[in-house]
Amino acid sequence: MGHFLEWYTNPDVLFYSEGPATMPYGPEIIRRMNGKLSELGETYIIEVKENGAWKPIGDASITKDKTPITIGAEEYWNRGIGTRVLDMLIRRARDIHIKKLFVSGIYEYNQRSMHVYSKLGFKETGRVNENGYELVKMELEL
């Protein structure tokens, strides 16, 4: 739980993953979020090997209507980890016979995330306004 609390109380992580008006998450919200994602599909902890030990740095999921990835440890941003994780999620989705992956919404200002999903073949399918910000919806046919 400690890593999740660190990630989901970080204003920068929340800004890019959950939106500009999101308050830090407490333990109960994190438990509910992880429980719901696990109930709806598969959830994963993203880890890197550092000094011979595995270190959690984020989380990812595959569900019927979303494929979220959060690199919660900022020191690992811009290192291509999100791209590698998304590639692994796409391969896993094919293995379990999912026909289409969805992104329920990336804030328009989160160009890094939009680039990762676009680079791996996701196409924009629409936009919705949420609290004055555009959310970009995307999908990938498998």
Of residues 29 and 134, more confidently modeled: 134
pLDDT greater at residue 113 or residue 22: 113
pLDDT band at 80 (very low <50, low <70, confident <90, very high): very high
Q: What is the pLDDT of residue 36?
A: 80
Q: Six-digit token pair at 43? A: 């959830």
Residue 27 domain boundaries: 2-141
d(CA 23, CA 8): 9
Model confidence at 27, pLDDT cuts 50, 70, 90, reads confident
Burial string for 94-132 (b: 16+ CB within 10 Å, else e) reads: eeeebeebbbebbbeebeebbebbeeeebeeeeeeeeee
Q: What is the pLDDT of residue 1?
A: 62
Q: Return the CATH number at 108.
A: 3.40.630.30
At residue 48, the pLDDT reads 96
Rounded to whole angstroms, the Cα distance separating 136 from 124 reads: 7
Neighbours of 1 (CB within 10 A): 9
Task: Name the pTM for this structure.
Answer: 0.89
Question: Is residue 130 within 8 Å of residue 19, measured between CB atoms?
Answer: yes
Count of the separate structural domains present in the chain? 1
3-state secondary structure of 44: strand
